Chain A
Amino acid sequence: MISGGRFTDRPGRKLFQASCLFLLLLAASCATVPPAPAKPRGTFILLPDDQGKTGAIVVLNAQGETLLSKPRETLTIDAAGRPGKPFQMSDKDVDARVGAARYALPEPPVRVIFYFKYDSDELTDESRAKLPEVLRSIRERGPVDISVVGHTDTMGEKDYNYKLSFRRAQAVAKLLTAQGVAAAILDITSHGKDNPLIPTGNQVPEPRNRRVEVTVR
């Protein structure tokens, strides 16, 4: 093997097989390759997300550019920097190669949206009832980083809306700190009317845009 004893102490056989596959592919595509020194090689695997959707990545170096867009589509790059032909790796082989990292991916953040009355930093009654949900995820997740981001609909002036959405964010922050959440873990920001949840034209009253988004990471 190219990197000698290094594979023998790794979680074993699957990785070894995957490496063989890599070598076979390499031999098939360019038969005259001189034996490469122990330079870095890479494996790039596109994965479906937790909803089963697959995006796309572009893998680029001096020797070319490859677009990966199918589930578990994989590109290997050899020690000479040459990209191989993309192929679909089995789920088992993905785990053999990158399983530890794959399963160390954290649970996605919890996002809760609080809605507000028109031109006010007063929560709607339904939103007030969501507070326990946020407190519960803070408790369950342990030490956390929390964003509190205020927004408005597009009614009124930009500057006024920044102030209004800041007041909204502060109102939610106050509710959290009153329940014992440390102020130090809250990151409070104000987006005014720049970031509507429901895209509308300017000067459109839209209750779903009068909101504070709390993200518990």
Chain B
Amino acid sequence: MGPPGVKIMKRYVIIAILLAALPALCWGATAATKETIGVIRNSSGTVSVTRGEQVLPAVSGTKLLAEDVLDTGRDGSAGIILRDNSSLSIGPDSRLVLEKFLFAPVEGRFALLVRVSRGTMAYISGLIGKLSPGSARFETPVATIGIRGTKFAVKVDD
């Protein structure tokens, strides 16, 4: 290890991704090129992560990617931490879609777009809320939420 510099390292990274993408293309999987955006910290009852065609059990430690969909059953709840240190959780009979997540403070690029399709969600803002609150948005079937650095909860009844 010990690449001589970050610029060169970035080149390594790009090469690594291409190499990783080759077998991925053969297997028809695209997940290999996606970055981890967060992790499931706790889950109880029925909780699942849907990633494209795959449905994964959502257990503590499950890494999350952009576009992952979290679903809970009647007895389910789960808590996750995103890479900007924000926390999100969902209660029973809920669906949450992690539509977009971008946390690149060096380049000053941020995005957080979460869709709460049904059920309940709570959120505590992290660094995106601190550095670029305008980049964070939560969509529900009835309204959109913008944040000013904060904790809040939502309930969608359908």
Smallest Cβ-Cβ distance to A67: which chain B residue = B148
Whether B143 pairs with A106 at a CB distance below 8 angstroms is no
Q: Which of B38, B91, B145, B148 contacts A100 (CB 8 A)?
A: B91
Task: Report Cα–Cα, A41/B143, bound state, in Å.
Answer: 9
Q: How far is the CA of A99 from the CA of B77 in the complex (A)?
A: 10
Write the A149-193 contact mask toward B (1 if CB under 8 angstroms, else 0): 000000000010011001100100000000000000001011110
Q: How many angstroms from the CA of A192 to the CA of B9 in the assembled complex?
A: 14
Interface of B is mostly: strand
Q: How far is the CB of B8 from chain A (nearest CB, A)?
A: 9
A81 to B151, CA, bound (A): 23
Q: Does A112 contact B (CB under 8 A)?
A: no
Which bracket fits the contact residues of A?
Answer: 35 or more
**CB-based contact A194/B143 at 8 Å:** no
Pair A102/B122 contact, Cβ less than 8 Å = yes
Chain A residue numbers with a CB within 8 Å of B143 are 42, 44, 59-61, 77, 81, 83
Separation of A40 and B120 alpha carbons in the complex (Å): 13
B102 at interface, CB cutoff 8 A: no
Determine if A98 and B81 form an interchain contact, defined as CB atoms under 8 angstroms apart.
no
Bound-state Cα–Cα, A192 to B152, Å: 34
A101 to B154, CA, bound (A): 9
Chain A residue at minimal CB-CB distance from B76: A100
Does B52 have its Cβ within 8 Å of any Cβ on chain A?
no
B61 touches A41 (CB 8 A): no
Residues of A within 8 A of B63 (CB): 145
Distance of A182 Cα from B121 Cα, bound (Å): 32
Contacting chain B: which of A24-32, A45-53, A198-206? A45-53
A97 → chain B closest CB, angstroms: 5
Partner of A98, one of B41, B122, B129, B158: B122
| Residue from B36, B121, B151, B157 in contact with A3 in the complex, judged by beta carbons closer than 8 Å | B157
B23 within 8 A of A: no
Per-position binary interface string of chain B over residues 132-152, scored 1 when its CB falls under 8 Å from any chain A CB and 0 otherwise: 000000001111111111111
Q: Which residues of B contact A3 (CB under 8 A)?
A: 157-158
